[in-house]
Homo-oligomer: A and B are copies of this chain.
Amino acid sequence: MNDASLKVSLDPDIMQRMNDSAAGRSSPSPAAGGGPDGRAFAAGVASRPSLLLARIGTALEAAGDDWLAPSGLNGRDYAVLAILTTDAPGTQQELARLLGKAPGIAVIAVDRLQEAGLVERRRDPADRRRSRVVVTPAGRRALRKADLLADDGLSQLLPGLTAQERDVLYGLLSRGASHLAGETSDG
């Protein structure tokens, strides 16, 4: 986690192009990080596990783009690069499925990353309908940088926890939701 190489240094072109749209989205929402004057969390929410978990997830998504800003990525970019790198889906439709979104969303996401030079589409010679999306070296650098930024952000979102406790938390989440990782639910 604490590698010595934190300087990933993306191409300035890439960062500029992607920040064009990323910056436009970081509008100050009333819920995001902290309200103008009152408390951000209601006790009625904090005292109920399901509401608390939902609220933390929302807060994370709201803050995520800000965390990742130095990498030039937004949350969607990050998730897509992570899936492409780790799961290597053979088609964009599988990417969409792993992303949990409609196929059209994957098209837009890949378009965006491709324009930034972080991924490339490669037609499958065996079946020319399929286009395999491969991550470029610049994409891998961006993902590494985003991983570090995301970890930093998460530690800031949960400042009440030590690194050890965050590991426990992550372990519980990972094991608790592991049933969703490999099973074919009801197909």
Contacts and interface: CB of A to CB of B under 8 A. Distances in A.
A12 interface: no
Contacts of A55: 100, 177
A35 B187 contact: yes
A64 B58 CA distance: 14
A101 B181 CA distance: 32
Interface string A95-107: 0111111100000
Given A86-B43, A99-B42, A147-B48, A173 B56 contact: yes
A5 interface: no
A94 interface: yes
Total copies of this chain within the assembly: 2
A176 interface: yes
A118 to B, nearest CB: 15
Given A55-B100, A82-B45, A87-B42, A33 B160 contact: no
B58 A97 contact: no
Interface string A164-187: 011011101111111111111111
Interface string A60-78: 1100100100000001001
Chain A contact residues, majority secondary structure = helix
A23 interface: no
A133 interface: no
A46 to B, nearest CB: 5
A174 B38 contact: no
Given A43-B181, A51-B79, A56-B177, 14 more contacts: A31-B101, A35-B97, A37-B187, A41-B177, A42-B82, A42-B99, A45-B83, A46-B177, A48-B82, A48-B150, A49-B151, A53-B57, A53-B173, A55-B100
